[in-house]
A and B are shown apart, each in its own frame.
Chain A
Amino acid sequence: MPVSTSSAGLPLWQRRTTAAQWLRFAAWLFGLSLFLLCWKVISDNTLWVFVEDAGRQGSDLLGRMLPPRWEYAEKLWRPMWDTLNIATLGTALGVLMAFPVAFLAARNTTPHPLVRSLALMIIVSSRSINSLIWAMLLVTIVGPGVLAGIIAIALRSIGFVGKLLYEAIEEIHPTPVEAISATGASRLQVMNYAVLPQVLPAFAGISLYRWDINIRESTVLGLVGAGGIGLALNASINSLAWSQVSVIFVMIFATVIVSEWMSARVRRAMI
């Protein structure tokens, strides 16, 4: 208790007891020491000779990238279109699969705790694997190309959309659910009338947000052969065509800006 008695017999109040104060101090000291120790380890493992001419290397690379070879953009429309398709179709497929999973995973809508653990398992395993790794696996399974990219994006999106959606489902107001149940509605009708309308805005927002992320993620999937603009990026880097790489960067940048703007507009229109 941070309340003690002064020598004059009056009650004293401090924010923390003396013991708690010392404990906090020790914790801070420990944290700071750990930080410095880690710093030392990293420093020892760095080859500083390489870092010393980093500035020169960087400006050298920039020099090769500039000016961008703009004619190359003509060959990029097709891969860019593929990238957009990977992101959009992948998101749609992922959202479609995430929707039922979220309802099975939410504590208030799951039919059984065992089903819930299973659904959570699907969500966790989807989330724990990066879409680039999904793509690598899928390229070996279904072969290189856009299809592998779409499935990779979809598999990664299940976890993301599923998790955010099931959290939204758990946060709904319980009273409409009570009211609809009290009319004698079946489980599915309760979902349709009391749960779904409450999570629909969140669902739309989450899906758009994931689409936004997927546009960015699908630009790199080509690095492992899963189609899209990443293939062109990979080829350009391998042939040291840095002036083409800069064109690709500009293109990706522009696409991401447009997709952010679009998703912001759609979201505003929907809520």
Chain B
Amino acid sequence: MLTLEGVGKRYPTGDRALSDIDLALPKGQVMALIGPSGAGKSTLIRCVNRLVEPSQGHIRLDGDELTTLSGAGLRRARRSMGMIFQEYALVDRLTVMENVLSGRLGYVGFWRSFFRRYPEQDVREAFRLLERVGLDHALDKRADALSGGQRQRVGIARALLQSPRLLLVDEPTASLDPKTSRQIMRLIRELCAERGLAAIINIHDVALARQFADRIVGLNAGRIVFDGAPSELTSDILTTIYGEEEWDTRVGPEEPAEERSAPPRAFDVALSGAVR
């Protein structure tokens, strides 16, 4: 459904962020994109909806070439790609409802959006989504009055109100605590299943990626170095993605591995729990 062919990005400063990315994402697949900071994960998903201009290659969504679009065509294409951000990227001084309804901006005209007179079915759908993400009680609150997890739910509702075919998710859990992170990942996962959405999720937390993705792609220095199922992700592969590190070492005596509702945040502890 989404295909990337030979996509590359070089920033004007000369930094090469992406080289020769070939990727095909079938309908309904949830793909996690992992890799060290600066590997080009954010650049990659921003190239898809053209918040960043790719310098070469082709990106097609259901056969439509995205890289050559501009103006109204680009806006129309962006409607079908919902984006979820690390710092939620809500507009703080607007209410929850206004933030969610802003997902319809690509569909309504300027004056309608200016006077907040959205079509009835859009408003109804916004109500439904807010209820689905568990925020129907907060719709009149200002966005900055919410907690981190609640804000991310608003962000998710906004992205879904676009009626997208594809979700681009940029570090959805980086600012959240471990429990909320899981809840958010589970919610994204469920919503993708309900609506048959494909998703690309940039994520730092390898344990979460394993748990919630159908497929994992590892990026290092702008190149794909791993592409496979979560079960294929071994310590050796983590080393090729992230570089040398004792992935399985623990401090102190071995504890029996048990299910925890909130795994410790420390990276290698959480990871070794999942690897064995």
A residues apposed to B, CB below 8 Å: 175-176, 178-186, 188-189, 192-194, 197-198, 200-201
Contact = CB atoms under 8 A, between A and B. Distances in A.
A183 B105 contact: yes
Contacts of B92: 176, 197-198
B90 A185 contact: no
Given A178-B51, A182-B78, 6 more contacts: A182-B51, A183-B82, A184-B107, A185-B106, A193-B98, A197-B93
A186 B110 contact: yes
A165 B104 CA distance: 29
Contact of B91 (A181, A186, A188, A193): A193
B230 interface: no
B113 A192 contact: yes
Contacts of B83: 179, 182-183
Interface string B73-109: 0011111011101010111111000100011111100
Nearest to A189: B105
Contacts of B152: none
A181 B162 CA distance: 12
A194 B113 CA distance: 12
A179 B90 contact: yes
Interface in B88-139: 89-94, 98, 102-107, 110, 113-114
Interface of B: 49, 51, 75-79, 81-83, 85, 87, 89-94, 98, 102-107, 110, 113-114, 155, 158, 162, 168
A183 B85 contact: no
A184 B90 contact: no
Contacts of A197: 91-94
B94 A183 contact: no
B81 A176 contact: no
A86 B83 CA distance: 49
A184 B110 contact: no
A183 B78 contact: yes
A183 B89 contact: no
List 3 A-B pairs, minimum CB-CB distance, nearest first. Answer: A184-B106, A185-B105, A179-B89
A178 B50 CA distance: 10
A189 B78 CA distance: 14
B141 to A, nearest CB: 15
Contact of B105 (A175, A178, A193, A198): A193
B79 A198 contact: no
Contacts of A179: 83, 85, 89-90, 155, 158
Contacts of B102: 180, 183, 185, 193
B90 A176 contact: yes
A122 to B, nearest CB: 25
B263 to A, nearest CB: 28
A6 to B, nearest CB: 40
A184 B85 CA distance: 16
B49 to A, nearest CB: 5
Contact of B85 (A178, A185, A186): A178
Given A180-B105, A184-B105, A198-B93, A175 B87 contact: yes
Nearest to A175: B89
B264 to A, nearest CB: 29
5 contacts: A175-B87, A182-B49, A182-B51, A184-B107, A189-B113
A175 to B, nearest CB: 4
Contacts of B91: 176, 180, 193-194, 197-198
A184 B89 contact: no
A183 B103 contact: yes
